[in-house]
Homo-oligomer: A and B are copies of this chain.
Amino acid sequence: MVVVMQPQATEEQKEHVRETIHTLDCKSRDIQGDAITIICVIGNTLALTPEQFEILPGVDQVQRIQKPFKLVSREVQPHKTSFKVGDVTIGGNEITIISGPCSVESREQFRTAALAVKASGARIVRGGAFKPRTSPYSFQGLGEEGLKIMAEISEEIGLPTISEVMEPEMVPMVSEYIDILQIGARNMQNYPLLNAIGHSHRPAMLKRGLSATIEEMLLAAEYILTGGNHNVILCERGIRTFETWTRNTLDISAVPVLQKATHLPVFIDPSHGTGYADYVAPVSRAAVAVGADGLMIEMHPTPERALSDGEQSLTPEALSALIPELRRVARAVNRVIV
């Protein structure tokens, strides 16, 4: 950390900064510029915040140098994290396609969807049982009944499952039925939930918050890893901007940016990222080309009758047509879609 003193800072104020640094078990080192003094903080600054120094008298600004995360960092683990869910390897050379409906609406609807997912060549089936909805008047999901349906159909057709958990207390229950625990965008900084999932044995997918920076996303993942759970997928799903012609603005650069900073696999959700089925195919191709390790694509047997997110769901036919296209792009960038 670098503490920049004001030009008129007194020697007493500088000494106070140095003492504060020493109190925190770090060493201080001065740089005398033409007009100002900079005091560097040397040592483990992971638990320190710039704000602790900004408040000291005579301080002009404080710049963080060391990254504020550790376990998720490429510096700590240079090789990419990879793990198996059923017989699907996540984080390898294969690009993993997850698909399925936004919500589990009934046994029949989910079974039809899951069969279409399997037929399309996608490897994991998604479905929501507990749905975070902006309005209290919208469909809130089938709850545990939905999870049971997912577990049964998964068993029947042989695809692993992913579903969202909304509260820490629900982690054990959801873990009984579901293979990958999803943390939704609105819960990216729900720390009790992150802690609970950090102590779970199930892999997790962490979706980027609507206005979360990449640094905050990595710190949220760090919460999970500090709990002992290292099987974490990061998922870019669009951020909130001023643009209204798409539901969110998909941050495609987040993939190479994250892959440079962390060893965790990085997925893209083109459905929430755009909000409209029309744009899912081109953006999915882009996601494969940019180097994403996987995609999560919403699909519904009859999108127009979907109880949630119908407008961004592909039909089974559209999904089946898309995957061969993605395979071609994957080959062009030396990746594989099975």
Residues on A lying within 8 angstroms of B by beta carbon are 2, 4, 7, 20, 29, 31, 33-34, 36, 38, 40, 42-44, 46-47, 49, 51-52, 54-57, 61, 63, 65-66, 68-69, 75, 132-138, 140, 166-169, 186-187, 189-192, 209-211, 213-216, 219, 222-223, 226, 239-246, 249-253, 255-257, 260, 273-274, 276-279, 282-283, 285-291, 303-304, 306, 309-313, 325, 328-329, 331-333
Contacts and interface: CB of A to CB of B under 8 A. Distances in A.
Contacts of A283: 252-253, 256, 290
A288 B332 CA distance: 12
Contacts of A313: 55
B33 A42 contact: yes
B42 A34 contact: yes
A221 to B, nearest CB: 10
Contact of A290 (B42, B52, B282): B282
Given A34-B42, A252-B283, A329-B329, A240 B222 contact: no
Nearest to A273: B253
Contact of A219 (B43, B52, B57, B136): B136
Contacts of A256: 278-279, 282-283
21 contacts: A29-B31, A34-B43, A46-B135, A46-B137, A52-B311, A54-B311, A55-B306, A68-B137, A69-B135, A132-B191, A134-B219, A169-B169, A209-B211, A211-B242, A253-B283, A282-B289, A286-B286, A328-B333, A329-B333, A331-B332, A332-B332
Contacts of A166: 190-192
B253 A279 contact: yes
Contacts of A239: 241-243, 249
A55 to B, nearest CB: 4
A125 B41 CA distance: 35
A288 B286 CA distance: 8
Given A134-B216, A167-B167, A246-B253, 8 more contacts: A4-B65, A7-B75, A169-B169, A211-B240, A211-B242, A215-B245, A242-B242, A286-B290
Contacts of A132: 189, 191
A75 B35 CA distance: 11
Contacts of A36: 65-66
Nearest to A257: B245
Contact of A260 (B38, B137, B250, B278): B278
Contacts of A75: 7
A249 B332 CA distance: 25
A324 to B, nearest CB: 11
A216 B69 CA distance: 30
Contacts of A33: 40, 42, 65
A167 B331 CA distance: 46
Nearest to A75: B7
Given A65-B4, A303-B55, A213 B226 contact: no
